[in-house]
Structure 1
Amino acid sequence: MLIRYLLSHALSLLGNSMAAIALPWLVLVRTGDPAAAGVIAAVSALPMLLAAVAGGLVIDRFGRRRTSIWADLASAVAVAALPVVDQVTGLTVGWFVVLGVAGALLDVPGMTARESLVPDVATAAGVGLERLAGLREGINGVVLVVGPAAAGGLLILFDPTTVLWVTAACSAAAALTTLTLPARLGRGSGEAGGGIRTELLKGFRILGGDRVLAAMTFVVTISVLVLAPLQNLLLPVYLVGRDSPGGFGLMVAFLAVGGIGGSIVYSIAGAGLSRRTVFVVAQLLTAAGTVGLALLPPVPVLLAAAALAGFGAGPMQALALVLVTERIPERYRGRVLGLQNAATTTAVPVGTLVAGLLINGIGLRETGVLLAVAWGVVAAFALLVPALRRLEPPDDARQTADSAVDREPTVESASSVD
């Protein structure tokens, strides 16, 4: 069961990572307009946010396993529709927007559903939550290196539509693999049936009622707000300006390899270590590496900083997954994780937009210094905030969260959209 879950996760992520390379290339080849890819990404941003929030309600009502299966199947259909339309009528910007939005609506709930399955799989397979979370993050690192590289290699040999057929096959294979998991795994509770506003309020109450969850969500979201523009904008501009585009590929590879190493170490030793110790060491390593990246040093130092940041982020991401999943009551797990994913999804374009404005306004290196300072503030908050000093699981964590929701007055579903 453990292997099948990890395989389905790897296949789904592989398809998405390959599509992230092949789709913009196809847009450029078919439209000849470099700005079209940006328009499609911008138009897809709001549906992704809405899907992250609403998808959590679907997961809680209909089940984590079932939602994961249907999301991957639907994603495969949306991707496969692109080469079909290309053959029948030809792809236009309008088709790219429609099918891009459809894909965005499906990918985020699928990601949340697979994430919310982690505690169920760990219990059913008889493995520790730390071990499974570490293995999952390690697979993320491997796939995010292999996927884009494979897509780039296939684009040299084949038309972009052929590559999209491969990505659609990956999503379909992920769904079929998840289908082999026991049907009892991650069943829906029917809890998300009282109206959208009512059920989202319950999710917010869970987040606000648990100081650890609230602090961790804040730290992760602000971290993404800083890291996204660093990786997506600042470093590419810096390395292209140094006439070292290959350096960016190496930097991404070193970041991923460091993350894989950190995740593997956590999966092996995490259960036997104090969570506070893991948290502090991971924060310090990530902070040192991230500040090193933001200060835009020479390429050899940049690569070392990338490996250090990745090594610290590997266990940090796994630990965050452990903390949020063990503290969320099962019947609210999907909607709470959906809200968290919505926050991080929104942070990526917002951070990139702000960094772009800063680069144009004050300069590249000055923006890097601001990002380094911002990360230092985030790291200091994470290390000093009282809520994140006691990370061991209290026996009554979920019961307390349940009580916090039950004590709140409910909003009548007649005033909300069912």
Structure 2
Amino acid sequence: MEVQRRVAPFVLTQLANFMSVTAGSMVFIAIPWIALEISGSAAQAGLVVSLTAIPGLVVIPVIGSIIDKYGRKRVAVWAELITGALTLLLPLVASLWELTIAWLIVLATLKNVLAAAGPTARKSLVPDIAVPARMTLDRANSIHEGVFATGFAFGPALATFCIAVIGSAETFIVVAAFALASGLTASFVRVVEQHEPNDASEKEPFYRYALQGFKILFATPSVLVMMVAISILAVIYLPTEMVVLPAYYSSLGDPAGLGLLISAMAAASIVGALFFEQIHKFLSYSTILRIGILGVPLAMLPMSQLPAQWAMFVGALVLGLAWGPLLPLLNTVIQRKIPANKRGRVFALEMAIWNAGPLISMVAVGSAVDGFGIRPTYTVLAVTVLIAGLLVSFNRHIKSIDAREEIPIAG
């Protein structure tokens, strides 16, 4: 007897995904904006973003282990509920006392402790919800990252609207509401999580179990080369969205312009992500990676000259289209190559990269903006991403991501 197709787990997971990412992308705008309001310094804004990324760098490998040991859905639920509750502390403190840079660092750090746990757990869960929905991994990850990009497009616009209407601190009430709604929605997902037979690593002490993600990564060249590409974008590209562009639009007094630009990038990346499955019918994984890792800096170069707003939007659209297929590609490669019992720890490393990247470069970029100006700093970042992208494109291991062997996702 044929098993009935069930799409409800997939749909509910994507609703939770959208609400969680909306909350997170609102914070990308709101935290630097509040820091600039308080200090008027791009370097101070960069310092805030960098310091508040430390919990993610330290905690995420442990979270990956918790996901693998105790369940993907369970972490997806509780991480969002706890994050939403912690987020409410910022508007509460702002209503009682004057919000300073020190307060902002403390409160944003608390909020970020588990912020990456929900996305990590949901990425690890995608193969489990794809099976009952009868979706290929290409399609499931295409939709998952398309929804992610939709939330990322909606969040900045909503954040700038909330900042203008209710104030920057009060915006975090809306952020908390989206996080809490994400956790509640994920709690209704009914799914059987796949598990392989335990190996010897399952019996190791917890700290060694947590470090297995690094061992798995370096033993899998196809995943490693993808992680290197993502690291480049995290360390060099992300500061342009989180410090350089906010500093530029803050100097213009145009928060709505910033929100619309970031949303344009994300909207274009929705298209790129949703067409990932179709693109893969004509192009290999390695070719998709090359186009993405080189397309991003080629779009950055004209944007770095700070042209008219329409030209900035054109660059943002090209950048988003190049970026769009990269995350579905990374998800698919990890899910094909890594056993289910170890998937959480490897996806946790990806999230650690996103947190560590700003930590490594954000203060330096903010200082460069203050010291040398926005245009020179943006130009140097664009050229650096291009050089790094060329090095990745010619790496001898890049072809290994095209290998067809994969971990089965259904019993």
2:54/2:355 contact within 8 Å kept: no
Q: Which of 15, 27, 50 is the matching residue for 1:7?
A: 15
Structure 2 Cα separation of the partners of residues 354 and 160 of structure 1: 25
1:349 has 2:359 as partner:
yes
Structure 2, unmatched stretches of 5+, are 1-8
In structure 2, the residue matched to 1:135 is 143
In structure 2, the residue matched to 1:411 is none
1:144 has 2:123 as partner:
no
Structure 1, unmatched stretches of 5+, are 400-418
* Residue 272 of structure 1, CA deviation: 6.0
In structure 1, the residue matched to 2:86 is 78
* Residue 260 of structure 1, CA deviation: 1.6
Q: Which of 172, 181, 191 is the matching residue for 2:189?
A: 181
3-state SS of the aligned residue for 1:389? Answer: helix
In structure 2, the residue matched to 1:221 is 231
1:48 has 2:48 as partner:
no
Alignment of 1:61-100 (within 5 A): 61-83=69-91, 98-100=106-108
Provide, for residues 103-139 of structure 1, a one-character-per-residue CA deviation record: whole Å limited to 9, x for no partner: 2111112221112112222223211111122222222
3-state SS of the aligned residue for 1:180? Answer: coil
TM-score, reference length from structure 1: 0.81
2:265/2:317 contact within 8 Å kept: yes
* Residue 333 of structure 1, CA deviation: 1.1
2:223/2:401 contact within 8 Å kept: no
Identity value in percent? 25
Q: Which of 300, 304, 323 is the matching residue for 1:294?
A: 304
RMSD: 3.3
In structure 2, the residue matched to 1:372 is 382
Name the CA shift for 1:364/1:24 in 2 (closer, same or farther; >3 Å): closer
3-state SS of the aligned residue for 2:402? Answer: coil
Structure 1 Cα separation of the partners of residues 328 and 109 of structure 2: 30
Q: Which of 314, 317, 328 is the matching residue for 1:307?
A: 317
In structure 2, the residue matched to 1:332 is 342
Residue identity in the other structure for 2:116: V
Structure 1 Cα separation of the partners of residues 296 and 84 of structure 2: 35
Name the CA shift for 1:218/1:47 in 2 (closer, same or farther; >3 Å): same
Structure 2 Cα separation of the partners of residues 243 and 159 of structure 1: 15
* Residue 340 of structure 1, CA deviation: 2.3
Name the CA shift for 1:295/1:209 in 2 (closer, same or farther; >3 Å): farther
* Residue 266 of structure 1, CA deviation: 1.6
Provide, for residues 77-117 of structure 1, a one-character-per-residue CA deviation record: whole Å limited to 9, x for no partner: 21234555667x65766765554333211111222111211
* Residue 370 of structure 1, CA deviation: 2.6
Structure 1 Cα separation of the partners of residues 153 and 40 of structure 2: 25
Name the CA shift for 1:253/1:11 in 2 (closer, same or farther; >3 Å): closer
1:64/1:188 contact within 8 Å kept: no
Structure 2 Cα separation of the partners of residues 357 and 159 of structure 1: 27
Name the CA shift for 1:345/1:113 in 2 (closer, same or farther; >3 Å): same
Name the CA shift for 1:280/1:28 in 2 (closer, same or farther; >3 Å): closer
Q: Which of 275, 285, 300 is the matching residue for 1:275?
A: 285
Provide, for residues 298-349 of structure 1, a one-character-per-residue CA deviation record: whole Å limited to 9, x for no partner: 4433322221111010012221221122212211111121122212211113
Q: Which of 386, 392, 402 is the matching residue for 1:382?
A: 392
Structure 2 Cα separation of the partners of residues 18 and 103 of structure 1: 13
Number of positions where the alignment pairs a residue of Structure 1 with one of Structure 2: 395
In structure 2, the residue matched to 1:105 is 113
Q: Indicate the larger mover: 13-22 or 226-235.
A: 13-22
In structure 1, the residue matched to 2:134 is 126
